[in-house]
Amino acid sequence: METFFMSGLIPFDLFASWGYKIVIVIVALGPLIFIHELGHFSIAKILGIGVERFSLGFGPKLIGKKVGETEYLISVFPLGGYVKLIGEDPEEECQDLERSFSAAAIWKRLSVVIAGPLFNMMAAILIFAIIFMVGFPTMSTRIGEVKEGSPAMSGGIKKGDKIISVDGKRFDQWDKLADMIRSNPGKEMTFVIEKESGEIFQTMIAPIPEKIKNLFGEEIEVGLIGIIAEGEIIKESYNPAVALLKGIEITWKLTKFTIL
């Protein structure tokens, strides 16, 4: 097999690259689809709607066992899974109308449908909360470079300095500091700086308004002061209550970002 790939007809490194991407897709999407279908399955069971089949994966059955009315399967292709509800297809003959999805009250059907994405959101919140509890790497506010003639240089900021706060708001993470500066073009703000020696000083700096394009290609105005991060990595972690709130916050932000 390897000789065939190395002959030049199909480069082996190209095959390996695509194989790696396929594995990544399966690993990433598989659990998401499974959790999504688990949501449909769980709420259907709770509301008394019959479930004929719940499969881990797609395609031909590898192994399966029927428990009550539901057949639980492991199928050949490990990309997520699927749920088949009793009476899901209104054109199929249904022997159990009382437990049929099609005959269920509208609020029950709606609950089953919504349960999929809701379970995905709950899973995302939980994953982010765990990450925030364990701790995640982020860049500190230490400065690696100050551009010549920039507002930062005029304000006395030098390489190696660390920005502690802006307008009384404390910053430990570079991305949040960058958001603060970018969202205030032209506004003079109070920067509290810590030098490498430990000395603290205060300076007034007004970010220069500049036009840039965002992820959608739209031209927006942001504020820049002419600094580049040093790349110093710190670890941020939070207690369970704060981590849960942050998990909800970032999940909501990502959800809003995907809705156009």
CA gap 83, 40 in Å, rounded? 7
Maximum separation of any 2 CA atoms in the chain, in Å: 80
Give pTM, 2 decimals.
Answer: 0.58
Give per-residue pLDDT as tens, 30-43: 788 888 888 999 99
Positions annotated as catalytic residues are: 37
CB atoms within 10 A of CB 100: 18
At 235, is the pLDDT very low, low, confident or very high (cuts 50, 70, 90)? confident
pLDDT tens profile 17-76: 555 555 665 566 678 888 888 899 999 999 988 888 898 887 888 888 888 888 888 888
